[in-house]
Structures are given as structure tokens and as C-alpha cells.
Amino acid sequence: MNSKTNCVKEANGITLVLGGTGKTGHRVAERLQARGIDTRIASRSANPSFHWNDSSNWDEVLEDVTAAYISYAPDLAIPGATDAIRRFVDLAVSRGVRRLVLLSGRGEQEAQNCEKIVQATNVEWTVVRASWFMQNFSEGEFLAMVQDGTITLPASDTPEPFIDVNDIADVAVAALTEEGHAYEVYEVTGPRLVTFSELAQEISEAADREVQFIQVPKDDFNQAITDSGAPAEISWLLNYLFETVLDGRNAYLSDGVQRALGRQPADFCDFAHRIAARGSWNRKREEDAA
């Protein structure tokens, strides 16, 4: 049994979940609510709404909040993220927030700069520094590629220890609600390194249909992103990630899940079979693609 779960923090005030409708945020919120913790989900569609680029109602969002999960969309690498994080953290601390949990990214200098902002506060903080999400291929940017049968990305076959976002959510909730996680940097990865070619093969086996990985030139990828109508910041971010984070700097395992939860992280193979069983990777029907 993980000793860090022995002393659960008594609910006191509201726990705020920024990005509460995102990949990690909605899972964090669901887990908090299942524990009976008073939870406020912050997003553009919430009431009060939350916008990273508009701090006019941040005071209202932070009312009666004592703990906060900070997930910056689309990524802490985006220009301006560091300033936004600093403004929010300063305000949160001044409003009496006593515990901060920041979702960060491996190998991103901008993300580490944001970590330093949280670490410089006089409140309890925890950093969850995550590798690439498995769910990028099931509910995110690359789902359509999988459904079409070809994952076309400007990435080499550098291995990455993909992490299940359910593990991220479990670590974040532990840090928000339990004692023993303060002042920890949990670098969370899956249990093994997987290349994009291997990832495609494992998806193929789980979905019982061929899905292949094809490395494409950067210019071709950029044009495809532009043609898709994706926002400029998403195009910039994807290029940044493929040019930097996937250059081999993150091709190693970390033990953040094990240290935080006392168990092993989920494996990509198990994730693939779980998603395939739901039918998420079924080939698009002609009428859906029309």
C-alpha cells in the first residue's frame, strides 16, 4: 500500500480544476466529484467562464478556492503562457489558495519556467511533468489519422514513453487531496518506450485492421494542418513539439506514477485494446467522411 494515501486531506473549500473539460481536466474533476469534494470546473463554457487571455473574472473563479489543478491549453510552450501562469498563481496565492498542482511537460524549457513560478510560492505545490499522452490517438489530434489507417507525422522513430492520461489524473487527484505529495516533481511516463511504428503496429493488432505510420516532410505536414483549418497556435505547437520534444531528449523512463501512487503506470498495449473495444478506431464510414 502506498504510504502517501494513509492521510487524506479533509475537504476544506473548493478545489478548482482549470481546463476542466480537457483530456486531463475532466478526468480530474470526475475523480474529485466521486470523492465528494466540492469541485469547480473552469473553462470557457463554465459559469463563471475562464479565459487564460482575459483575467477580468479570475477573482470570481477563485472565490472560496483552497486548491487548484492548473492545466494550460493548448500547452505551456505557447508564447505568453509563462506570463499567464505567473498572473494566475500570484492571484491564487493572494486569494488564499493553499495547494497548487501544475500539469507540465517533459523536455520543454517553457514548461520548466512555469514550474519555477509555482515552486517559488509559499504554498504547497506539486508538479506533474508528463510525457506524450496515449489519448492523443484516441480522442485528440491524431484520432482521424488512426481511423483513416495512416498516421502521417513529421516525426522520426524516436521512442517515447507514452502516458495514459488516466494515470495523470490519478496522480493529480492524489496531490490535490492527500498528504505527502507537497513539493514533489512527479515526472510521469508509461512503463516502456514505444516508437511511432511500434505504436501503429500495436493499434493495428488491437483494432484488427492495418494502421501504419509514415514519416512525412515538415512542409507537407504544415500544409495539411493549414488545410485542416486548425488555429495558428495549434500549427505552431505541433511543429514545436515535433522539432524539439521528439528529438530524443525524452527517450527514457521515469517513476513518477510509481512514487505517487505505489503502482505501475498503464501500458500502451492495454490502452490500445481498451480503446479498440469501444470501437473508437473503426474506419470512418463513407457518409462520415463526406
Q: Average the pLDDT over 140-145 and give the result.
A: 90
In a domain, 128, yes or no: yes
In a domain, 21, yes or no: yes
CA pair distance 179, 184, nearest whole angstrom: 11
In a domain, 90, yes or no: yes
In a domain, 149, yes or no: no
Give the range among 25-29, 199-203, 285-289 with minimum mean pLDDT.
Answer: 285-289
Contacts of 6 (CB under 8 A, 6+ apart): 180
Helix-helix angle 109-119:81-94, to 10 degrees = 10
3-state secondary structure of 125: strand
Give the pLDDT band of residue 157 (cuts 50, 70, 90).
confident
Q: What is the mean pLDDT of the chain?
A: 92
b/e map of 42-59 (b: 16 or more CB within 10 Å)? Answer: bbeeeeeebebeeeeebe
Helix-helix angle 268-278:196-207, to 10 degrees = 40
Strand partners, 34: none
In a domain, 169, yes or no: yes
Q: Give the structural domain span for 12.
A: 8-133+163-190+251-265
In a domain, 144, yes or no: no
Q: Write out pLDDT tens, residues 190-234.
A: 999 999 999 999 999 999 999 999 999 888 888 888 787 878 788
CA pair distance 117, 283, nearest whole angstrom: 44
Q: Average the pLDDT over 35-57 and give the result.
A: 95
In a domain, 59, yes or no: yes
Domains contained in the chain, number: 1
The DSSP secondary-structure symbol of 3 reads: G
Nearest to 167 by CA among 237, 103, 75: 103
In a domain, 236, yes or no: no
285 exposed, middle or buried (CB, 10 Å; 0-12, 13-18, 19+)?
exposed
The CATH number covering residue 98 comes to 3.40.50.720
CA pair distance 244, 257, nearest whole angstrom: 24
The pairing of strands 184-188 and 150-153 is: unpaired
pLDDT at 285: 45
b/e map of 178-192 (b: 16 or more CB within 10 Å)? Answer: beebeebbbbbbbbe
Assess whether pLDDT exceeds 70 at residue 154.
yes
